[in-house]
């Protein structure tokens, strides 16, 4: 039996994104521990119900402050020194960097990194952005050198890291996103009469394309005034957060319907006819798209890393350029004018989820590669 420590940056993600993997560790006879900052009481209680301990540690999710980040590294070292895990699996940027560095310092036998997307770190060409990219690249290189395995969720991120010399290609394994539970997210038949109902589920930050979605909705409503454009997500404390007043204005103008956050997105997905994610954030493979695929909905998303892995253009949806409201509106209008395509595309989305994104297949790849 091995003791496996999983390190996250957001506590609910341990249930929503890694719950099936944690259960698989237990099924294989291993002990699972979890670490994350800002513990969410419901998520911690659910982990406890699974027989999994949770340990909180200090970490700022956004920004880089050397003092704060050294405090994070020190806390993770102390946890590992006390718990002595056999394996450490870290995902998202700061847990990967500081979790893997801590594992090396504490001589943990097996450290594994899961790169679940790059956010905005490698985007932009301003002097400040170039400096940030250089600093983060150096940290990634130092951390990943100490890892036994480095998992990527899309080919674009893998190629970027290999080309920049941030990772030894011999350590790299590609997995199809986080995977999706095809029983929990069962296929939901579409209604007989298809009113255009679009849905976006995301953190309410600008890089997720919220404003682009609103502008495209405005254009579509000029031709199809009954089309519905819904948004599900949390408001965030983030430098590029969508402000509540901004969302309220879109709703008052009749452009969007804001449904608030949701702990179970199957309800909103079942009522939607098309799923949209016009993100220009560097995703791994967006979880919300996997959920929409499984439920059986066409996808309109950007031709960008991670997103393009979820769409066969013209078969189960459309890919559009980033930050292009006109192109997004054009794709939406194509389905509004041809509702018969929605049903066929939705069926192909479900088949894609079954063939490529089944969570059991993803987790088998992870556990076998980790030697568990």
- Residue 366 pLDDT: 98
* Range in 151-155, 231-235, 236-240 with the lowest mean pLDDT: 236-240
- Counting Cα atoms < 13 Å in the Cβ hemisphere of 2 gives 20
Q: Do residues 155 and 334 make contact, with C-beta atoms less than 8 angstroms apart?
A: no
- Residue 115 pLDDT: 95
pTM above 0.85, yes or no: yes
Q: Do residues 211 and 239 make contact, with C-beta atoms less than 8 angstroms apart?
A: no
pLDDT in tens, 204-235: 999 999 999 999 999 999 999 999 999 999 99
Which pairing describes strands 3-7 and 87-91: parallel, antiparallel, or unpaired? parallel
Numbered ranges of CATH 3.40.50.2000 in the chain: 3-179+358-370, 197-356
With a CB cutoff of 8 Å and minimum separation 6, the contacts of 203 are: 233, 234, 236, 238
The CA distance from 179 to 164, in Å, is 27
Token look-up 């990967």 returns: 96
The CA distance from 146 to 103, in Å, is 8
Q: Does 251 have pLDDT greater than 80?
A: yes
pLDDT in tens, 82-112: 999 999 999 999 999 999 999 999 999 999 9
The domain made up of 3-179+358-370 has a fold known as Rossmann fold (3.40.50)
Mean pLDDT, range 38-42, rounded to an integer? 88
- Residue 180 pLDDT: 96
Mean pLDDT, range 278-305, rounded to an integer? 95
Q: What percent of the chain has pLDDT over 70?
A: 97
- Strands laid side by side in the 31-36 sheet: 53-56, 31-36, 3-7, 87-91, 110-115, 149-152, 172-174
- Residue 128 pLDDT: 67
- Residue 149 pLDDT: 97
Q: Does 168 have pLDDT greater than 70?
A: yes
pLDDT in tens, 304-361: 999 999 999 999 999 999 999 999 999 999 999 999 899 999 999 999 999 999 999 9
Which pairing describes strands 117-119 and 282-283: parallel, antiparallel, or unpaired? antiparallel
* Range in 76-80, 193-197, 323-327 with the lowest mean pLDDT: 193-197
Looking at residue 197, the DSSP 8-state letter turns out to be: E
Mean pLDDT, range 150-168, rounded to an integer? 95
Q: To the nearest 5 percent, what fractions of the chain are helix, strand and coil? A: 45, 20, 35
Architecture of domain 197-356: 3-Layer(aba) Sandwich (3.40)
Cα–Cα distances in Å, from 14 out to 67, 205, 350?
26, 21, 25
Looking at residue 245, the DSSP 8-state letter turns out to be: H
Closest CA to 176 of 350, 14, 303, 365: 365
Closest CA to 294 of 354, 224, 227, 336: 354
In this structure, how many other beta carbons lie within 10 angstroms of the beta carbon of residue 12?
Answer: 19
The CA distance from 363 to 372, in Å, is 11
pLDDT in tens, 320-335: 999 999 999 999 999 9
- Residue 193 pLDDT: 65
Q: Do residues 3 and 83 make contact, with C-beta atoms less than 8 angstroms apart?
A: yes
Q: Does 272 have pLDDT greater than 70?
A: yes
Phi/psi at 199 (5° precision) = -140, 140
């Amino acid at each position: 039996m091995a003791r496996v420590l999983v390190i996250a940056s957001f506590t609910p993600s341990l249930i929503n994104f890694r719950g099936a993997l944690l259960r698989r560790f237990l099924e294989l006879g291993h002990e699972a521990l979890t670490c994350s900052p800002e513990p969410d009481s419901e998520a911690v209680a659910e982990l406890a119900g699974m027989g999994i301990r949770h340990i909180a540690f200090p970490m700022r999710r956004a920004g880089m402050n050397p003092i704060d980040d050294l405090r994070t590294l020190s806390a993770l070292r102390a946890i590992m020194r006390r718990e002595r895990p056999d394996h450490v699996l870290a995902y998202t940027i700061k847990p990967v960097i500081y979790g893997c560095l801590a594992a090396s310092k504490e001589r943990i036998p097996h450290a594994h990194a899961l790169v679940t997307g790059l956010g905005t770190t490698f985007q932009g060409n301003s002097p400040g952005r170039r400096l940030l990219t250089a600093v983060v690249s150096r940290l990634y290189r130092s951390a990943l050198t100490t890892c036994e395995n480095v998992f990527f969720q899309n080919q674009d991120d893998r190629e970027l890291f290999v080309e920049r010399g941030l990772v030894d290609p011999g350590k790299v394994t590609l997995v199809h996103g986080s995977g999706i539970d095809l029983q929990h997210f069962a296929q939901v038949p579409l209604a007989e009469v298809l009113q255009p109902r679009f849905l976006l589920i995301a953190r309410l930050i600008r890089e997720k394309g919220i404003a682009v979605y609103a502008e495209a909705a405005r254009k579509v409503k000029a031709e199809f005034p009954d089309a519905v454009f819904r948004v599900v997500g949390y408001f965030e404390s983030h430098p590029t957060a969508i402000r509540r007043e901004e969302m309220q204005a879109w709703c008052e103008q009749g452009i969007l319907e804001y449904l608030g956050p949701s702990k179970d997105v199957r309800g909103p997905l079942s009522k939607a006819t098309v799923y949209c994610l016009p993100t220009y954030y560097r995703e791994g493979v967006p979880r919300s798209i996997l959920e929409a695929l499984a439920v059986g909905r066409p996808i309109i998303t950007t031709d960008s890393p991670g997103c393009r892995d979820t769409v066969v253009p013209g078969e189960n949806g459309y890919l559009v350029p980033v930050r292009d409201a006109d192109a997004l509106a054009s794709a939406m209008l194509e389905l509004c004018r041809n509702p018969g395509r929605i049903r066929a595309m939705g069926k192909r989305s479900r088949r894609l989820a079954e063939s490529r994104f089944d969570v059991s297949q993803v987790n088998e790849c992870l556990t076998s590669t980790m030697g568990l």
